[in-house]
Amino acid sequence: MTTLLPLTFDSPAPVPSQLHGYLSANSMGGQSVLDATTLPQTTDPFHGTKKDANQAKKAAEAAGLSVIAESRLGLAVVGSPAAYEELTGGRVVTKEVLLYAEAATRRYVTHVDITGKNQPSALGCGRPKSSVAGIEAVILERPRAPQASATWIAPPPAKTPQGGGIWPSPIPPNVPGFYLRVPQDVALGLGAPQAQRQGFRGQGVRVAMVDTGFYLHPFFPAHHYQIATPIAVVPGVDQGSDPVGHGTGESANMFANAPDAQLQPIRASNDAGELVAAVAGFMKAKSLAGDQRPQIISNSWGGDMQFPPASNTLPPQEVAFALELKDAVELGIFVVFSAGNGQFSTEPQVPEVFAAGGTYMSSNMALQASNYASGYESPFFPNRIVPDACGLVGLLPRALYIMLPIPPGCQLDVEESHSDDQGNPGDGTPPNDGWALFSGTSAAAPQVAGAAAVLLSVQNPAKPPLTPAQIEEALLQTCVDVRFGTCHPRFNNPAGPGQDLATGFGLVNITAAVEYAKNKFPASF
Amino acid sequence: MSYAEAIVTAASDVSEADRAKIQTWAEREEFQAIPMKMGMLITGDEELFRKVFGITQADLSARSTRDVSLPIPAEVASAVSSITIRRLPSIDG
């Protein structure tokens, strides 16, 4: 059967710490439940002998499982994933399965499976190790929806399409006015399509994003994007959720440019969505090692200080964190921060960090500085201009510019759908549809991160990797110059020919950057 | 769970022994301590911060609008120049 969306795929969701399961005792009739295709006249052939039942119980408990109930057929058990792995010799993993849920709509639901050599292909089923006596099958509980409830995870819209459908939709809604869609319009504006057609799509590159969290919106599997298991820094929060929707939406900006990169979401927010662990989140991203090591860390957040500052020296806590950013770059990680939406923050001013500002592209692709984005000369670091260069960002008053996938009913879904307190209209989407129009330099940072991932995917893996400084040079030297408009009124700097305080070097152009890097840094290709 | 993080900046002429002293103090107070180039990041429950630094919830809540300086415990005073909860960052839209 062909489907528009993958029916199942390896999930980024973590394996729960406790799993309910069922152990089938050896069947007296000789046929294992794993091989049965229908029900017999009576259950007798599948009963276990007393000896097998006793052995099954002993084996379960020896592996670390607790027996909840027993029958003539088997045992209901609960325990850690490690206990099931001990019993089977396999590996417990999560998989997403497209299921009909409530109100005749489909959604991805996380399942648990046992994989490995000699393990059956049936989802959720495992075979015990040969040394385990009395048990013929291990079956993990699958998620079951309460059939009469419409609140399994989150309610779908009242009107569901005839014939069902997936919810939230992987396809962005249509609303009046001009706006950009992901991935195509964002990729087009940043010059990515030609590089992508040449096969440079961020493959083999890991991008960590420190943000409010990540929700597995159907938009992501529909595009076959790769997402690693999210990491939560604040103890006790759900690592697979995003109360604000910001991290989820911004991820789509990265994938627009680098569809084959792997995203490592790092949730630095508490349950209220506040970024209470931003420094720890960055430190976590920087410390990941081995296969988890990111080549790029994207950050769409920042603080704010008085501008111009009372003195040109940074307070010690700012120096301490700035040193960590610089150190990450020295370790070979390309670090990008948003320049700010009128904010004046330390992070993008650190000279080794790539500061991503804003350029607005109109419906006929005319470019101007975004008046939503910060732009200034740093008073702390000589000759440091923020931004370095730009991604695509909307305009004041609300920068409703890029239609992005978010968790249905999250803070952004609700806020963006309504008029703001100045009476500026909302984005035209419902408050619970899983899509919202928003942007800011938050969008620019992951767009630049995606551009950097494309550059890293061009190079020859057997050759020395491009350094962060080389990536930055390639991106800056090939920007499309932006000559019109002014940045945020707080700074009020105009764009003009060449490097300027509003847009830096201009709008990033990925295909041109690829060509530049190939010619300028042949040792890496 | 209410969570907070603070940057402990080491004194400029801090020795390795002083760094170890900061780490020992942080761990004994049951903070999670993450070494930084210029000191240490300490993280933990808000209640722990209130208890160890003798501050109020209002002091902690002020981090939504400004940096919050914490008193330096006498035990590490010679090794530490400041302890600060940074103003909560805003998402850049």
Rounded to an integer, what distance in angstroms lies between the CA atom of residue A349 and that of residue A148?
Answer: 55
Least confident piece of the model among A104-108, A473-477, B65-69: A104-108
Residue A503 forms part of a structural domain: yes
Nearest CA among A452, A504, A141, A169 for reference residue A298? A452
Confidence band for A35, pLDDT divided at 50, 70 and 90: confident
Give pLDDT, residue A163: 59
Residue A435 identity = W
pLDDT at A100 over 80: no
Residue A149: CB partners within 8 Å, gap ≥ 6? A102
Q: Cβ contact (<8 Å) for A235 and B4?
A: no
Q: Cβ contact (<8 Å) for A316 and B89?
A: no
Q: Cβ contact (<8 Å) for B89 and A341?
A: no
Query: Is the bond leading into A172 cis (omega within 30 degrees of zero)?
Result: no
Confidence band for A165, pLDDT divided at 50, 70 and 90: confident
Confidence band for A153, pLDDT divided at 50, 70 and 90: very low
Using an 8 Å CB-CB cutoff, list chain B residues near A275: 88-91
Rounded to an integer, what distance in angstroms lies between the CA atom of residue A68 and that of residue A409?
Answer: 37
pLDDT at A470 over 70: yes
Confidence band for A154, pLDDT divided at 50, 70 and 90: very low
The answer to whether B46 faces chain A, any CB pair under 8 Å, is no
Residue A309 forms part of a structural domain: yes
Q: Same domain, yes or no, for A51 and A116?
A: yes
Give pLDDT, residue A156: 53
Q: Assign A277 to helix, strand or coil.
A: coil
Rounded to an integer, what distance in angstroms lies between the CA atom of residue A250 and that of residue A448?
Answer: 11
Residue A158 forms part of a structural domain: no
Domain limits at A19? 8-140
Among A89, A113, A140, residue at a domain's last position: A140
The enclosing domain of A218 has a CATH number of 3.40.50.200
User: How far apart are the two ends of chain A, measured CA to CA in Å?
Assistant: 41
pLDDT at A107 over 60: yes
Residue A148 forms part of a structural domain: no
Please, are residues A270 and A233 in contact by the beta-carbon 8 Å criterion?
no
Q: Same domain, yes or no, for A190 and A98?
A: no
Query: Is the bond leading into B35 cis (omega within 30 degrees of zero)?
Result: no
Residue written as token pair 């060449």: A498
pLDDT at A164 over 80: no
Rounded to an integer, what distance in angstroms lies between the CA atom of residue A357 and that of residue A506?
Answer: 9
Q: Cβ contact (<8 Å) for A300 and B92?
A: yes
Nearest CA among A22, A38, A33, A8 for reference residue A123? A8
Residue A2: CB partners within 8 Å, gap ≥ 6? none
Q: Same domain, yes or no, for A124 and A32?
A: yes
**In terms of CA atoms, which chain A residue is nearest residue B86?**
A317
Q: Assign A19 to helix, strand or coil.
A: strand
Residue A163 forms part of a structural domain: no
Residue A310 forms part of a structural domain: yes
The answer to whether A290 faces chain B, any CB pair under 8 Å, is no
Nearest CA among A111, A114, A115, A120 for reference residue A142? A111
User: Who among B2, B81, B90 is closest to A301 (CB)?
Assistant: B90
Look at A239 and A41; give whichever has higher pLDDT.
A239
Q: Cβ contact (<8 Å) for B87 and A323?
A: no
Look at A104 and A19; give whichever has higher pLDDT.
A19
Among A140, A165, A188, residue at a domain's last position: A140
**Chain A from 240 to 279: CB within 8 A of any B CB:** 244, 246, 270-271, 274-279
Model ipTM? Answer: 0.90
Q: Same domain, yes or no, for A464 and A519?
A: yes
Burial of A294 (0-12, 13-18, 19+ CB in 10 A): buried
Q: Same domain, yes or no, for A204 and A332?
A: yes
Mean pLDDT (whole number) for A122-130: 92
Q: Same domain, yes or no, for A225 and A106?
A: no
Give pLDDT, residue A145: 54
CB-defined contacts A:B, below 8 A: 111
Please, are residues A208 and A283 in contact by the beta-carbon 8 Å criterion?
no
User: Who among B5, B41, B93 is closest to A438 (CB)?
Assistant: B93
pLDDT at A157 over 70: no
Q: Same domain, yes or no, for A255 and A352?
A: yes
Among A140, A165, A200, residue at a domain's last position: A140
pLDDT in tens, chain B (93 residues): 499 999 999 998 788 899 999 999 999 999 999 999 999 999 999 999 999 999 999 999 999 999 999 999 999 999 999 999 999 999 977
Give pLDDT, residue A149: 34
Which run of H or E residues covers position B27?
A: helix B16-28
Query: What are the DSSP calls for A332-365, one per residue?
Result: T-EEEEE--SS---SGGGSTTSEEEEEEEE-TT-
Residue A151 forms part of a structural domain: no
Closest chain B C-alpha to A372 CA, distance in angstroms: 10
**Chain A from 80 to 109: CB within 8 A of any B CB:** none
Please, are residues B72 and B17 in contact by the beta-carbon 8 Å criterion?
no
**In terms of CA atoms, which chain A residue is nearest residue B8?**
A317
Q: Radius of gyration (Cα) for chain A, nearest Å?
A: 26
pLDDT at A151 over 50: no
Give pLDDT, residue A99: 80
Give pLDDT, residue A88: 96
In terms of DSSP bridges, do strands A8-10 and A91-100 run parallel, antiparallel, or are they unpaired?
antiparallel
Least confident piece of the model among A148-152, A236-240, B2-6: A148-152
Residue A3 forms part of a structural domain: no
Please, are residues A390 and A504 in contact by the beta-carbon 8 Å criterion?
yes
Confidence band for A148, pLDDT divided at 50, 70 and 90: very low
Q: Assign A113 to helix, strand or coil.
A: strand
What is the torsional sign of CA B4, A319, A300, A342? positive
| Tokens of residue A492, six digits | 């009020």
Residue-wise pLDDT for A337-349, tens only, equals 999 999 999 999 9
Which run of H or E residues covers position B21?
A: helix B16-28
pLDDT at A159 over 60: no
pLDDT at A150 over 60: no
Closest chain B C-alpha to A74 CA, distance in angstroms: 40
Mean pLDDT (whole number) for A384-412: 97
pLDDT at A368 over 80: yes
Mean pLDDT (whole number) for A344-359: 97
What is the total count of domains within chain A? Answer: 2
Closest chain A C-alpha to B76 CA, distance in angstroms: 17
User: How far apart are the two ends of chain B, measured CA to CA in Å?
Assistant: 26
Beta bridge partners of A166: A106
Residue-wise pLDDT for A174-229, tens only, equals 999 999 999 999 999 999 999 999 999 999 999 999 999 999 999 999 999 999 99
Q: Same domain, yes or no, for A104 and A217?
A: no
Q: Same domain, yes or no, for A130 and A189?
A: no
The answer to whether B77 faces chain A, any CB pair under 8 Å, is no
Compute CA A349 distance to the chain's CA centroid, rounded to the nearest angstrom: 26
Q: Edge-to-edge strands of the sheet including A435-438?
A: A180-181, A402-405, A435-438
| Tokens of residue A393, six digits | 């960002």
Give pLDDT, residue A160: 54
CA contacts within 13 A on the Cβ side of A463: 13
Q: Same domain, yes or no, for A126 and A235?
A: no
Please, are residues A474 and A422 in contact by the beta-carbon 8 Å criterion?
no
Rounded to an integer, what distance in angstroms lies between the CA atom of residue A275 and that of residue A258?
Answer: 26
Residue A130: CB partners within 8 Å, gap ≥ 6? none
Rounded to an integer, what distance in angstroms lies between the CA atom of residue A469 and that of residue A395?
Answer: 30
Helices (H) and strands (E) in chain A, counts: 12, 24
Residue A215 identity = Y
Q: Same domain, yes or no, for A196 and A284?
A: yes
Mean pLDDT (whole number) for A66-89: 92
Give pLDDT, residue A101: 63
Using an 8 Å CB-CB cutoff, list chain A residues near B7: 279, 316-317, 320-321
What is the DSSP secondary structure assignment for residue A438, as one 8-state letter? Answer: E
pLDDT at A108 over 70: yes
Q: Same domain, yes or no, for A114 and A198?
A: no
| Tokens of residue A381, six digits | 């670091």
- Structural domains in chain B, sorted by start: 3-85 (3.30.70)
